[in-house]
Chains A and B, each alone.
Chain A
Amino acid sequence: MSQTYEIMFLIDNNTVRAGWKEAKASMTGLIEKHGGKTLAARRWDERRLAYPIRHRRRGTYLLTYAELPGPAVANLRRELDLTESVLRYLILSVERIPAQELELTKAESAADFRVPEPPPDDVPEAEERDGADDEEAEKAEAAPEMELAEEEV
């Protein structure tokens, strides 16, 4: 017996900068890996977090609706706990998918849909921190590239 679940992911903006499509695909891939069927998946919002989570000040939310067999949920949770790009997740069972979600998912998968880049204002905060690990170095490298990309447009 499967049940419909609403799964909200809070994804690290660094992962999102590397490509929203890929980030989304890896999340829906996780659901499918555990025997689920993704019914809808869309970018819900990119916003400033109410409090820093793992030194991140901003994050991107991915809202998905999926059918999962019951025992798979615990496995999915375990895997999400280990996934570094997921800062937080929330799995809720729902009776049915809101009608507009399917349309919004369709709209997002349309070719001309452009996902706005996350603003870079969470970068300085991380750089100030002492003992910057590899991830921070990556972020510092990623920032100039992004500026270039904006100039091209």
Chain B
Amino acid sequence: MYGERYEMPAPERLHVKDEDLDYKNIDLLKKCTGGQGQMLSRRRTGLRAQRQRELKKAIKRARHMGLLPFVA
């Protein structure tokens, strides 16, 4: 058991690459948040760094407008 390296299976990625990351696109943003409304990591969303930053902005804007919950 020890000595053998265990590799965590990569989480299943979402396919949101080409869609418009806008705060009004709630259905898409909901896919990119977890059960408690937390943002998912780049590992999970499969986005490039710049797109993930856009996603971050969009989620935060949506939260401000009461469209998405803050983390419960």
Contact residues of A with B, CB < 8 Å? 8, 10, 44, 47, 49-51, 53, 59, 61, 63, 87-88, 90, 92
Contacts and interface: CB of A to CB of B under 8 A. Distances in A.
Contact residue range for chain B? 10 to 19
Contacts of A59: 66
Given A50-B68, A87-B66, 19 more contacts: A8-B65, A10-B66, A44-B24, A47-B67, A49-B66, A49-B67, A50-B66, A50-B67, A50-B69, A50-B70, A51-B69, A59-B66, A61-B65, A63-B24, A88-B65, A88-B66, A90-B61, A90-B64, A90-B65
Q: Is the interface of A mostly helix, strand, loop or mixed?
A: strand
Contacts, number: 31
Contacts of A8: 24, 65
Nearest to A58: B66
Closest 6 CB pairs between A and B? Answer: A49-B66, A50-B69, A50-B68, A50-B66, A88-B65, A53-B66
A8 B63 CA distance: 13
Nearest to B68: A50
Q: Is the interface of B mostly helix, strand, loop or mixed?
A: loop
B19 to A, nearest CB: 15
Contacts of B65: 8, 10, 61, 88, 90
Nearest to A59: B66
Interface string B41-72: 00000000000000000000101111111100
Contacts of A61: 65
A51 to B, nearest CB: 6
5 contacts: A10-B65, A50-B66, A50-B68, A63-B24, A88-B66
B23 A90 contact: yes
A94 B66 CA distance: 21
A51 B70 CA distance: 8
Contacts of B67: 47, 49-50
B68 to A, nearest CB: 5
